[in-house]
Amino acid sequence: MGRKKEFEEKQRHGTVELPLGLHIMEYPQGTDAIFYLHWHQEFEFLVVTKGRILFEIEGREYRLQTGDGIFVNSNLLHSARTEHQEECAFFAVDFSYQILEQDIHSRFAKRYIHPILNGKTSFPEYISPAEGNWQKQVLQALTDISVCPEKDLEPHALLVRSRIYQVWDLMMQHAEKVHDSEEEIRYSERLAPVVQYMCENFAYEITLAELAEMIPMSEGQFCRVFKHTMKLSPMQYLMRYRILQSCRMLQETDKKIGEIANLSGFNNISYFNKVFLNIIGCTPKQYRANRNY
């Protein structure tokens, strides 16, 4: 039988002493969506143990077969579904940076954690035993964690921590540095107050003209700069942010969907449903009913 666990975006995996969660999941034939588009602050490794899974991270799609793994960085949108509704199984390891280093301001964190969190260093997302020996080592270390009791990891804390350090070291060795041009850095700094304004006022009407005026730029130039820097147009970014805030409310509150639409900046519930379906891949009602690990 398949089983799913309640998902809450603010949920923290593991305990203060061991900030890591192990989730072993099975889905029967006929299952379509494993989990809808969502995000969390923890890092995640997922390894397929049966069947095939179609995994998406920020629009990048990966086809995972038995034995393959995936890495999801903090705060990235991701979703998963079965291939052809076949039965499948996987285990996921979700953990906070604190399992590596409690002090985010330490020299260790600045060298080995900050670059991953801020995107200056990019870990490979797709991990396959067919790709090479180091990937096999990553998958084996994660498998070592997966054989621990799912609900009682504390007695195995030394093994768990040692394997996470091993995985992190291997991933760092094969990571890529991301170099932004001076122009991209300059535009990113100029856009920062605009993005902050959008995030703080998403529930209210926001026009392209008022956003462009904050720079200031013409609307056309502002749109070009914003899309080049943020990879989305200003209105696409705003709509996505509104929908993500509605996801939070759908999971964390009992408010009616119409009220959530209004609080998210949508005056028309039909339009809200349409945009939600387009971005998340299901209706708000389905999203609320879905339970993830």
- C-alpha count within 13 angstroms, C-beta hemisphere, residue 62: 23
pLDDT at 3: 32
pLDDT at 13: 66
Model confidence, pTM: 0.83
Rounded average pLDDT over 161-171: 98
Domains of the chain, first to last: 20-177 (2.60.120.10), 182-289 (1.10.10.60)
Contact 136, 129 (CB under 8 A): yes
- Per-residue pLDDT band for 5 (boundaries 50, 70, 90) equals very low
What are the pLDDT digits (tens) for 70-115?
Answer: 999 999 999 999 999 999 999 999 999 999 999 999 999 999 999 9
Q: Is the pLDDT of residue 8 over 60?
A: no
- Percent of the chain with pLDDT strictly greater than 70: 94
User: Quick one: pLDDT at residue 28?
Assistant: 96
Question: Which residues make Cβ contacts (< 8 Å) with residue 108, sequence separation at least 6?
Answer: 100, 101
Q: Check residue 184 and give its pLDDT.
A: 77
In Å, how far are 2, 73, 257, 276, 290 from 247, measured between CA atoms? Answer: 24, 19, 10, 9, 12
Among 5-14, 226-235, 239-248, 275-284, where is mean pLDDT lowest? 5-14
Mean pLDDT of the 159-166 span:
98
pLDDT band, residue 291 (cuts 50/70/90): low
